[in-house]
A and B are shown apart, each in its own frame.
Chain A
Amino acid sequence: MNTRGLQQLATQTRFDFVLLWRNPLASFFTVVLPLIFLFVLTALFGNDLVTPVGPKLASRFVPGIIALSVVQAAFVNLAIVTVFRRETSILKRVRGTPIRPWVFMGGLVATAYAVIALMAVLMALIGWAVYDVDLLWKTVPSLIVTLVIGGAVFCALGLAFTNLVPNETTGPPFLNLVVLPLYFVSDVYVPATDDTPQAITLIGDIFPIRHLAVALQGSFDPLSDKSIWPVTNWLVMAAWGVAGVLIVTRWFRWTPRS
């Protein structure tokens, strides 16, 4: 990328971030809601030891809520903003300017990554300070890889899903309809246990959210050496990401549908 492209990306990211921050609904669902969920989950289920020698229960909730933040920032928010911009002809106008499409879209993607980084650090720190969650330095590289892959995959899927949303008013309910049930079968709120019905985990395994949550849980589990490099989870997510990119390349719309 040339210098001008980088400058454009920096400017676009700056304003996309400001827009997210100033929009009360967007900032609530992307930043505040995950925080509320963390507090509610620990209030509901307590923070006992998972096993007599294992970590505290909150060390399962923290990665689950980080996964939630990734999906909210990269998938839900990005798709809602993009549909809104498409339907209010902002995308069409931008298409009429010399900015490269991927630089313009890059602003939203970079904003999603900024939120993901912020939320991951915030959740880990709250978990450590309030709920006695261990911060495992040896899993930080794997945690970063998971967040990078997760961010890219859910941004691609978010853009791909805009094709299914007819207008800006149906954007938020439609996207929540997609993710809310998946959160329940994807270890986001409550991690799967031996008692979890097999059908639930099977359904969760098909979609990328559970793979994101499980990969993140490994980064917060001091007993689980094998999940430090959750390659299978990464590969399943990446496959969804490739599908998203293909859909975006083929069917993404710059002009209003309604």
Chain B
Amino acid sequence: MRSSAIEVTGLRKAYGAHEAVAGVDLHVEEGEILAFLGPNGAGKTTTVEILEGFRTRTAGEVSVLGQDPASAGLDWRERIGIVLQESQPEEYLTVAETVIMWAAYFPAPRPVAEVLELVGLADHRDQRVGRLSGGQRRRLDLALALVGNPELLFLDEPTTGFDPTARREAWAMIDGLRDLGVTVLLTTHYMDEAQNLADRISVIAAGQIIAKGTAADLAEAASLQTRISWNAQEVPLDELPDQLRAAATVFDLAGQPGDSSTSAAEGPARLAIFTNEVTDTVAALLQVAGRLGHKVESLEVQTPTLEDTYLALIGEADRAGGLNR
């Protein structure tokens, strides 16, 4: 069994009467990538900065790589790497000079050429940092976090401002850290990023963890169902067996829920069923279509995305009053 890289129990941080972090539990195993999600002001950055040793806590137990960050020494800092949400390397140094300077801070750094290769900046080693694009600077940020050969990496919104291609490349790079055995705590606003990279996800809202687990666990916790939809012309509402008809929702051309009167006769409105019984529902639907001699070419089966799940969870917490404290 793997041991834990981060173990947090009952973490609290108060600023006067305001409690920014109100009893957070967090567990990250060695070699795991954990995505830490939450809206702005939810206590995400405060929590991460406590784990990084930048902030003190009001209460709770925190162990990062077996030590308390509040009292850990320089030997502990040798084992972690940090990519801050915003930071700007010195623009008058070249890429290689910046990494060489940073490597000197660590007792057993990775070779500079290897690090530049790892983050895809080998071709830019002699370029001044001031002339790098935003995406290339972020790669340099990552290079500086990796050069000390860390066991644990804190990545705070590592791909903000990237174009889609650069983001995919960064994901491949972060995913590649698994092979190096690096544990990653990833903070991000991009749900597809978390879905692609993370082994597990923790969602924080109003200073408390409101959901944790794999993307599928979260979807289950948010009670989100798979959406099966098709054009009403292909299989009209009236033709559905009673059970399916009762479960179906009619959507008009604008994608807004309508009523049964706006269905088949009025054109290509869509029908949808939200269910966890995907196979049975699709089979029943195809059976009806077969009986009618129709094809269901417009059939779509949409499992909930992490974004749907996240929004549902945050919305739920909000409705419960959790976000307005």
Beyond A22-B92, A98-B74, A100-B74, whether A92 also contacts B104 by CB under 8 A is: no
Q: Which residues of A contact B87 (CB under 8 A)?
A: 88-90, 92-93
Judging by beta carbons under 8 Å apart, are A99 and B86 in contact? no
Contact, CB under 8 Å: B77 / A98 = yes
| CA distance in complex: A90, B101 (Å) | 13
Chain B residue nearest in CB terms to A85: B90
Contact assessment for B92 and A92 in the assembled complex, using a CB-CB cutoff below 8 Å: no
Which chain B residues in 26-55 approach chain A with CB under 8 Å? Answer: 52-54
**B88-A99 in contact (CB<8A):** no
Q: A89-B84, A98-B106 are in contact. Are A15 and B101 (CB under 8 A)?
A: yes
**Contacts A98-B75, A255-B54; A93 near B104 (Cβ below 8 A):** no
State whether A89 touches B104 (Cβ < 8 A).
Answer: no
In the bound complex, residues from chain A placing their C-beta under 8 Å from that of B82 are 93, 96
Q: Which of A72-99 contact B (CB under 8 A)?
A: 88-90, 92-99
Nearest CB on A from B321, distance (A): 33
Q: Does A11 contact B (CB under 8 A)?
A: yes
Residue contact B86 to A89, C-beta cutoff 8 Å:
yes
Residue of A22, A23, A96, A255 touching B77 (CB-CB under 8 A): A96
Is B104 in contact with A7, judged by CB distance below 8 angstroms?
yes
Tell me if B274 counts as interface (CB < 8 A to partner A). Answer: no
A114 within 8 A of B: no
Bound CA–CA A255/B97 (angstroms): 24
Contact residues, A167-211 vs B (CB, 8 A): none
- Determine whether the beta carbon of A96 is less than 8 Å from that of B54: yes
Q: Convert B78-98 into 0s and 1s, putting 1 for each residue whose CB lies closer than 8 angstroms to a CB of A.
A: 101010101111101100010
Asked if A250 is at the interface of the complex by the 8 Å CB criterion, the answer is no
Alpha-carbon distance between A104 and B148 when the two chains are bound, in angstroms: 16
SS of B interface (majority): loop
In whole angstroms, how far apart are the Cα atoms of A19 and B90 in the complex? 8
A8 contacts B by Cβ under 8 Å = yes
Give Cα distance in the complex from A104 to B77, angstroms. 15
B185 to chain A, nearest CB (A): 13
Task: Report whether B84 and A93 are in contact in the complex, using a CB–CB cutoff of 8 Å.
Answer: yes
Chain A residues 140 to 184 lying within 8 A of chain B, measured CB to CB, are none
A23 touches B84 (CB 8 A): no
B102 at the binding interface (Cβ < 8 Å):
yes
Given A89-B87, A89-B88: A96 and B93 interface contact (C-beta under 8 Å): no
Residue B105, interface by CB 8 Å: yes
Answer whether residue B122 sits at the interface, using C-beta atoms and an 8 A cutoff: no
A8 touches B105 (CB 8 A): yes
Q: Are A15 and B93 in contact (CB under 8 A)?
A: yes
Residue of B nearest to A97 (CB): B105
**Distance, CA A19 to CA B86, complexed state (A):** 21
Q: Which of B54, B77, B104, B148 contacts A12 (CB 8 A)?
A: B104
Residues of chain B lying within 8 A (CB to CB) of residue A96: 52-54, 77, 80, 82
Q: Is B164 an interface residue (CB 8 A)?
A: no
User: CB-CB < 8 A to B53: which residues of A?
Assistant: 96
Q: Does A4 contact B (CB under 8 A)?
A: yes
A18 at the interface (CB under 8 A from B): yes
Contact (Cβ within 8 A) B54 A93: no
Contacts of B101 in A (CB 8 A): 11-12, 15
Interface 0/1 of B166-201, CB less than 8 Å to A: 000000000000000000000000000000000000
Would you give 29 A-B contacts (Cβ < 8 Å), ordered by A?
A: A7-B104, A12-B104, A15-B93, A18-B93, A18-B97, A19-B90, A19-B93, A22-B92, A23-B92, A88-B87, A89-B84, A89-B86, A89-B88, A90-B87, A93-B82, A93-B144, A95-B54, A96-B77, A97-B77, A97-B105, A97-B106, A98-B77, A98-B78, A98-B148, A99-B74, A99-B105, A100-B74, A104-B105, A255-B54
Q: Apart from A23-B92, A89-B88, A255-B54, what are 15 other A-B pairs with CB-CB below 8 Å?
A: A4-B107, A7-B104, A12-B104, A15-B101, A18-B97, A88-B87, A88-B88, A90-B90, A93-B144, A96-B82, A97-B105, A97-B106, A98-B74, A98-B77, A98-B105
Q: Which A residues fall within an 8 A CB radius of B?
A: 4, 7-8, 11-12, 15, 18-19, 22-23, 88-90, 92-100, 104, 255
Interface, chain B (partner A; CB < 8 A): 52-54, 74-75, 77-78, 80, 82, 84, 86-90, 92-93, 97, 100-102, 104-107, 144, 148
8 tightest A-B contacts by CB? Answer: A89-B87, A99-B105, A22-B92, A11-B104, A88-B88, A98-B74, A98-B77, A97-B105
